[in-house]
């Protein structure tokens, strides 16, 4: 809480105050043992307060068969501690009701206080918490800090009070405007009056966040204020939908239990209206409202699911597009085999891998014979067809465990992990045979047979003079390919070390 705001609260002479009777009850409540007769005497000196305590006691005792008619009866029937709590509840109610709210809406504020009180007690009863009347008082005074802030800054507070679209938004506006929220101001006020720590801490955290790990007491106060908004909300089914969802996430109540809660609260309102002289609407059908809210939840979840599906589709498409782009960066556009940069990268990795695995690695360097003449005589389209056919035959013959790449122009490289030079030579001659049996179809009347010169170099694990790098291995295959070309073309040779 902002220290400057605390100073202003301490110096304010017009803050809400409690009657002397209530202050004496608070003092007695702090004692480990209180004298029931003394408490009865204190309360009976205020006849209006005593009659309200009797009425509240009958309400708390669920309207017993033999009515409670005196404060002493109340102490005997519902207990001293509950009687003192009821006394404080009415004392606070009177102080809050009589406060000058200036530009705030008195009726809405007061209705919310009473609804929060009844709801908080009813939630506590459904959760079977001890001393549920404590929660009636906690719910009643959870917004008392609004009175304190309003007393200090009535004009400014009136603006944000009427500007806020929800109670939660009001606390955000308070923090932005005053660096303090009304739950913080309320906790300070209760501490200033000497109220038990139970109420101070509960009110301070009443507008925070609620999770499945929150205590049952925290859930009581948190949801009491939110359920109270149902009676003044323009779109009840939307708010109920949010409450069902929040309640599920916080592991509080299921929809059927919320229905029971609202019905039990509604049933108490006629008595509350009579005791506190208010006019809260009791025409509230929770069943149909919850069904509408559940339908809205289904529709929202469906919409979210559709959005999620769409998002997942877009992510999958983006990943596919990214993979496609990555593949394009690896591949030669014309032939579809790997490009030079990527085949050299593969060669480096394969060289290191087979070295550690103690297996051979063969590299095949290929060059299409007289390719320039193909382009000059039949055009570049024929040359492109020849390159595509050549690449397709290389992939077909060498298989999936080998890597085919276009090194540049009409030169190609095949990386063959695990293959000896004998196997590589057999594959090279099969490539030559396939080329002879599959001429390039330049046009309906023109078929063009292409040949290739092939050089092979192999790194053997037990070689006496091994290659020192993948570059050296590729260079050996390249030189052997040129040797094949210079000794007649259309042949495959294996590198022989000097």
Tokens of 236: 């009840």
Residue 321 is predicted with a pLDDT of: 72
Average pLDDT on 170-192 reads 90
**Residue 422, number of CB atoms within 10 A of its CB:** 12
What proportions of the chain, in percent to the nearest 5, are helix, strand and coil? 65, 10, 25
Return all residues near 189 (Cβ < 8 A) that are at least 6 apart: 9, 15, 16, 144, 145, 148
pLDDT tens digits for range 41-52? 777 777 777 777
Residue 102 is predicted with a pLDDT of: 62
Q: With a cut of 80, say whether residue 440 has pLDDT above it.
A: yes
Asked if residue 120 lies in contact with residue 135, where contact means CB atoms within 8 angstroms, the answer is yes
Asked if residue 261 lies in contact with residue 248, where contact means CB atoms within 8 angstroms, the answer is no
Distance CA 484, CA 491 (A): 6
Distance CA 283, CA 122 (A): 18
Question: Per CATH, the architecture of 340-494 is what?
Answer: 2-Layer Sandwich (3.30)
Residue 494 is predicted with a pLDDT of: 96
Strand ranges for 359-426 from DSSP E = 361-368, 403-408, 411-417
Distance CA 357, CA 364 (A): 21
Q: With a cut of 60, say whether residue 297 has pLDDT above it.
A: no
DSSP-based three-state secondary structure for 317: helix
Q: pTM (2 decimals)?
A: 0.56
pLDDT tens digits for range 152-174? 888 888 888 888 888 888 999 99
pLDDT tens digits for range 383-436? 999 999 999 999 999 999 999 999 999 999 999 999 999 999 999 999 999 999
pLDDT tens digits for range 69-99? 777 777 777 677 677 777 777 677 776 666 6
β-strand pairing of 452-459 with 403-408: unpaired
Residue 291 is predicted with a pLDDT of: 59
Q: With a cut of 70, say whether residue 100 has pLDDT above it.
A: no
Distance CA 187, CA 204 (A): 5
For 426-439, give the DSSP string: HHHHHHHHHHHHS-
Burial label, 19 (beta-carbon count in 10 A; 0-12, 13-18, 19+): middle
Tokens of 157: 């507070």
Give the pLDDT band of residue 452 (cuts 50, 70, 90). Answer: very high
Angle at 114 between CA 122 and CA 26, to 5 degrees: 90
Residue 101 is predicted with a pLDDT of: 60
Asked if residue 53 lies in contact with residue 108, where contact means CB atoms within 8 angstroms, the answer is no
For 228-265, give the DSSP string: HGGGG-SSHHHHHHHHHHHHHHTTS--HHHHHHHHHHH
Distance CA 166, CA 171 (A): 9
Closest CA to 43 of 107, 104, 87, 8: 87
**Residue 492, number of CB atoms within 10 A of its CB:** 23
User: Where do the H-state alpha helices sit in 45-79?
Assistant: 47-60, 71-78
Q: With a cut of 60, say whether residue 288 has pLDDT above it.
A: no
Closest CA to 426 of 476, 378, 368, 492: 492
Average pLDDT on 11-40 reads 71
Give the pLDDT band of residue 61 (cuts 50, 70, 90). Answer: low
Listed range (175-184, 246-255, 304-313) with the worst mean pLDDT: 304-313
Q: With a cut of 60, say whether residue 150 has pLDDT above it.
A: yes
Distance CA 481, CA 496 (A): 12
């Amino acid at each position: 809480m902002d220290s400057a705001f605390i100073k202003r609260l301490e110096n304010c002479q017009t803050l809400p105050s409690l009657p002397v009777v209530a202050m004496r009850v608070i003092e007695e409540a702090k004692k480990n043992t209180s004298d029931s007769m003394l408490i009865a005497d204190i309360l009976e000196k205020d006849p209006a307060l005593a009659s309200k305590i009797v009425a509240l006691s009958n309400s708390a005792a669920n309207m017993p068969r033999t009515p409670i008619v005196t404060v002493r009866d109340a102490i005997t029937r519902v207990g001293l501690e509950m009687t003192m709590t009821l006394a404080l509840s009415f004392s606070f109610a009177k102080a809050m009701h009589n406060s000058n709210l200036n530009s705030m809406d008195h009726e809405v504020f007061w209705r919310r206080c009473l609804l929060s009180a009844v709801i908080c007690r009813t939630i506590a009863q459904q959760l079977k918490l001890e001393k549920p009347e404590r929660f009636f008082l906690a719910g009643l005074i959870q917004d008392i800090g609004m009175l304190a802030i309003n007393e200090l800054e009535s004009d400014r507070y009136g603006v944000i009070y009427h500007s806020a679209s929800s109670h939660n938004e009001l606390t955000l506006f308070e923090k932005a405007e005053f660096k303090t929220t009304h739950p913080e101001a309320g906790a300070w006020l209760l501490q200033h009056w000497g109220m038990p720590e139970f109420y101070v801490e509960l009110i301070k955290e009443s507008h925070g966040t609620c999770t499945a790990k929150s205590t049952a007491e925290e859930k009581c106060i948190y949801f009491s204020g939110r359920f109270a908004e149902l009676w003044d909300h323009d779109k009840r089914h939307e708010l109920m939908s949010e409450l069902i969802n929040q309640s599920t996430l916080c592991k509080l109540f299921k929809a059927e239990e919320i229905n029971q809660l609202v019905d039990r609260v509604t049933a108490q309102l006629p008595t509350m209206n009579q005791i506190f002289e208010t006019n809260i609407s009791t025409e509230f059908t929770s069943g149909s409202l919850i069904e509408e809210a559940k339908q809205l939840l289904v529709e929202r979840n469906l919409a979210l699911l559709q959005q999620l599906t769409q998002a997942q589709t877009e992510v999958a498409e983006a990943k596919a597009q990214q993979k496609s782009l990555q593949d394009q960066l690896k591949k030669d556009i014309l032939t579809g085999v790997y490009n030079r940069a990527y085949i050299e990268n593969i060669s480096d990795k394969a060289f290191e891998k087979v070295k550690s695995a103690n297996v051979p690695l063969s590299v095949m360097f290929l060059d299409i014979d007289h390719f320039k003449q193909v382009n000059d005589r039949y055009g570049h389209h024929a040359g492109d067809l020849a390159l595509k056919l050549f690449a397709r035959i290389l992939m077909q013959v060498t298989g999936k465990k080998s890597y085919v790449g276009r090194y540049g122009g009409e030169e190609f490289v095949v990386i063959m992990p695990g293959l000896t030079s004998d196997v590589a030579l057999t594959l090279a001659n099969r490539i030559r045979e396939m080329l002879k049996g599959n001429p390039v179809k330049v046009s309906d009347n023109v078929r063009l047979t292409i040949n290739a010169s092939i050089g092979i170099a192999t790194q053997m694990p037990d070689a006496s003079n091994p290659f020192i790098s993948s570059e050296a291995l590729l260079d050996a295959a390249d030189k052997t390919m040129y040797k094949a070309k210079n000794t007649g073309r259309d042949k495959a040779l294996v590198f022989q070390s000097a």
